[in-house]
């Protein structure tokens, strides 16, 4: 089943964008920080919502391939888009000296955490399925 398709792509981007912006505003409010590049950062959030949703949408089509190359490919795609985005932003408006590193870190951390959670859930599901199979086999043997 496709979780992200043409019909729900825009709505998923909108929801992700809203949540990211709300999170950004809450953190800024809590930290008492004023964002001087407010407009630019809002559009950055939108750009990344589109890129990450597009990369996740590819997941369905890549299910028959081994996961590790898929994850590496997806990460390289996102990292490449990030580098291109920061370079373009630097040409248009100028960015701080460590903008590239910060942006790559912002992409890498959620990616690694998501992959870890994905693995954890997968092996937990296998454990649960084995318990069910053992139960089914036991019941069959008893009869």
Partner 1 sequence: MRFIKTREEGLRENYLELHYHEVDEETKELIARLDTTLSNVEGSCDDRHVSVPVTEVLYFETVDRKTFAYTDSMCIEMRLALNNILDMYSDAGLIRISRSAVVNVYRIDHLQGDMNMRTIIFLKNGEKLIMNRGYKKEFLAELERIKERSRK
Binding site for partner 1 (CB under 8 A): 1, 60, 63-64, 66-68, 118-119, 122-123, 125-126, 128-130, 132-137, 139-140, 143
Chain Cα centroid distance, residue 118: 12
CA angle 83, 44, 111 (to 5 degrees): 60
Q: Give min distance, CB of 19 to partner 1, in A.
A: 24
Q: What is the DSSP code (8-state) at residue 62? A: G
**Closer Cβ to partner 1, 102 or 125, answer by number:** 125
The token pair that represents 63 in the structure block: 């299910």
**Closer Cβ to partner 1, 33 or 119, answer by number:** 119
Q: Give min distance, CB of 78 to partner 1, in A.
A: 19
């Amino acid at each position: 089943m496709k979780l992200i398709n043409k019909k729900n792509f825009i709505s998923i981007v909108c929801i992700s964008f809203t949540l990211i912006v709300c999170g950004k505003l809450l953190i800024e409010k809590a930290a008492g920080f004023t964002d001087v590049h407010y407009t630019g950062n809002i559009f950055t959030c939108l750009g990344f919502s589109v890129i990450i949703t597009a990369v996740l949408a590819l997941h369905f089509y890549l299910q028959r391939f081994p996961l590790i190359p898929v994850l590496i490919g997806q990460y390289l795609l996102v990292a490449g888009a990030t580098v291109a985005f920061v370079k373009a932003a630097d040409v248009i408006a100028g960015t701080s000296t460590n903008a590239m590193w910060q942006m790559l870190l912002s992409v890498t951390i959620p990616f690694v955490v998501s992959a870890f959670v994905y693995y954890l859930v997968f092996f937990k599901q296998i454990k649960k399925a084995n318990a069910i199979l053992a139960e089914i086999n036991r019941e069959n043997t008893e009869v």
